[in-house]
Structure 1
Amino acid sequence: MGRHLITAVILTFTLFNILPSEARGNGQGHGLHTGFYASSCPRVEEIVSEVVARVRERNPKLPPALIRLFFHDCFVKGCDASILLDATPSGEPVEKASPANGETLRGLEVIDEIKAQLEQECPRTVSCADILAFAAREAVYLAGLPRHDVPAGRRDSRTSRASDVFVNLPTPATPLNDIIDMFSRRNLSIEDMVVLSGGPLHWRSTMHPI
């Protein structure tokens, strides 16, 4: 694995866990912390790991797709699973419907599979936002890096607007200076921008050439 790809997956895993998020906190004024589900759903991370490993056997392209899915969720309003919503009470187009996401998003069925198993194991306990974070960590692990601890306790957003994507997530048509500004507002450098944008794509092409 190349140096830039290693940097990409590390940044994806670590930096997006500290972006501002509506989901931050556990309802008691505390921040995210490891072992959040130790009592309420002790097998959550084991289940996520098993599902991601299983789907990788079916399709080696899915782990980098999970990293990208986490990236696209966190970059808009924080890591709140708003990218997973199909509709909201307002009736506005959701993030999925944005041209920056749309048909290019992959790995959604993996999150659905994980959620279904967790609902059998511990109903109405684990947030989809935390599932996304755990799944992205497993993708990092499958890239050959050590499995890192993931702080949990995110809350799922009830809102999702395609209009938020346009101003927060770069597209191929976004001017370079605007892209640099999007990353700098999140305390990410130009190098961070390059590796986060290109790392998952590089991994996908080298693991399973088209």
Structure 2
Amino acid sequence: MPSFPPVIFLLLVFIPSVLSAPVTSLTNDYYQETCPDFSKIVREVVTTTQGPQGRTAAGILRLFFHDCFLEGCDASVLIAKDALNKSERDDEINHSLTEETFEIVTRIKTALEKSCPGVVSCADILAQSTHEAVTMIGGPSYEVKLGRKDGCESKARKVGENLPLPNHTVHEMMSLFQKKGFTLKEMVALSGAHTIGIAHCKDFICRVTGPRPDLDIDAEYAEVLKSQCKDYTVVNETRGSFFDPVTPDKFDNMYYKNLENGRGLLASDNILFKDNSTRPFVELYANNQTVFFEDFARAMEKLGMVGVKVDKNGDVRLRCDNLNKPKEAILRV
């Protein structure tokens, strides 16, 4: 049984002080004069590192969502720990973020520093690379405004209580999404990110084993999951299963069709179809991929504007995994 990269788990949380910056703060052509090859460089690196079964897209999507939760879309999730600080990526929940995905961001940053040193923020790299990764595997294109600055802190202690869990109810998830400014429909649309990626066995095995298995799950599907996760704690704890076992390498609406057929991998996936408040949106997207793509695109545009830093509220890091030293801070006003 092969090992998989971690789950692409749609996670959003709200911090009242980091609501979206004014739309006019970011622009489509922010790097037109200072780094005209920005989009081209990002696209080339993402293309050359795209792994099988949508691995690259899944990893980048998850990284982007995790970044935007706490301090807004400011690349704070990229910061590595040091002797004095445990960063966001060092919290146990974020241990599943793959080194492969962090390395992709590093490669993009290195290429951009050669072309236009000290200009492009890591936050903009994350936002643009997410768009490129999604569209490369068939997902919708959407507008990516640019001009974000990188955050100046990253604290592990802020992570845990702010992330939805695999067994959350609709009410629990919506309490986080709503505070972030998202509607119930937008929450279901963004959950469509689970059309790619995998979940680790530990996040769903209790649904198919033990004294009280989940009767909502399709019986045949449950047997497949049992087989995939057999002895995973002994053999390999990174074992897992695709969110969408039908078209795992394609961004489409199959995730919602699976929910209708009792093949939602996580309890938090299954509940979207079971709950009367979200079921109509699941059915809508299962029956109409065009509408799903349109709604997902709009929600991604909205997500990308959450809590961004501009001007002197942040800086442009020399390295995405390290905060700038005071004398290294690069400000663009």
The CA distance in 1 between the partners of 2:126 and 2:73, in whole Å, is: 8
Aligned partners of 1:21 and 1:79 also within 8 Å = no
Matched, 1:98 2:91: yes
Distance in 2, Cα, partners of 1:170 & 1:191: 17
Distance (Å, rounded) in 2 between the aligned partners of 1:108 and 1:120? 19
- Tell me which structure has the larger Cα radius of gyration: 2
Decide whether the 8 Å contact of 2:60 with 2:101 is kept in 1.
yes
Match of 1:207 among 217, 232, 248: 248
Aligned partner (choices 58, 62, 71) of residue 64 of structure 1: 58
Trace 1:40-189 onto structure 2 (pairs within 5 A).
40-56=34-50, 60-87=54-81, 91-105=84-98, 107-172=101-166, 177-189=171-183
- Superposed displacement of residue 79, structure 1: 0.3
Note the C-alpha offset of 1:58.
6.5
Q: CA deviation at 1:140?
A: 2.3
Structure 1 range deviating more: 56-65 or 136-145? 56-65
8 Å contact 1:41–1:121 — kept in the other structure?
A: yes
Between the aligned partners of 1:65 and 1:20, the Cα distance in structure 2 is: 27
Q: CA distance change for structure 1 residues 88 and 193 in 2, over 3 Å: closer, same or farther? A: farther
Q: Kindly tell me: are residues 33 and 21 of structure 1, through their superposed partners in 2, closer, same or farther at Cα, counting changes over 3 Å? A: farther
Determine helix, strand or coil for the equivalent of 2:93.
coil
CA contact (8 A) 2:54 2:137 kept: no
Change in Cα spacing, 1:104 to 1:145, as seen in structure 2 (3 Å) is closer
**Aligned CA distance change for structure 1 residues 171 and 88 (closer, same or farther; 3 Å):** farther
Pair 1:44–1:34, CA change in 2 (3 A): same
Q: Distance in 1 between matches of 2:45 and 2:182?
A: 31
Which is bigger in relative contact order (C-alpha 8 A, separation at least 6)?
A: 1
Using the size of structure 2 for normalisation, the TM-score is 0.50
Preserved CA contact (<8 Å) 1:80 1:154: yes
Contact 1:88 1:158 in 2 (8 A): no
What amino acid sits opposite 2:119 in the alignment? Answer: T
Superposed structure 1 runs of 4+ greater than 4 Å apart: 19-25, 173-176
| Identical positions, percent | 34
The DSSP-based 3-state class of the residue aligned with 1:60 is helix
Quote the residue 1:7 is aligned against: none
Distance 1:115 1:193 in 2: 31
- Opposite residue 207 of structure 1, the aligned amino acid is P
> Residue by residue, what CA displacement relative to the aligned partner does 1:165-197 show, whole Å, maximum 9, x if unpaired?
123222336565332211110122334334434
Describe the SS at the equivalent of 1:185: helix
Distance 1:151 1:57 in 2: 26
Q: What is the distance in 2 between the residues matched to 1:93 and 1:68?
A: 20
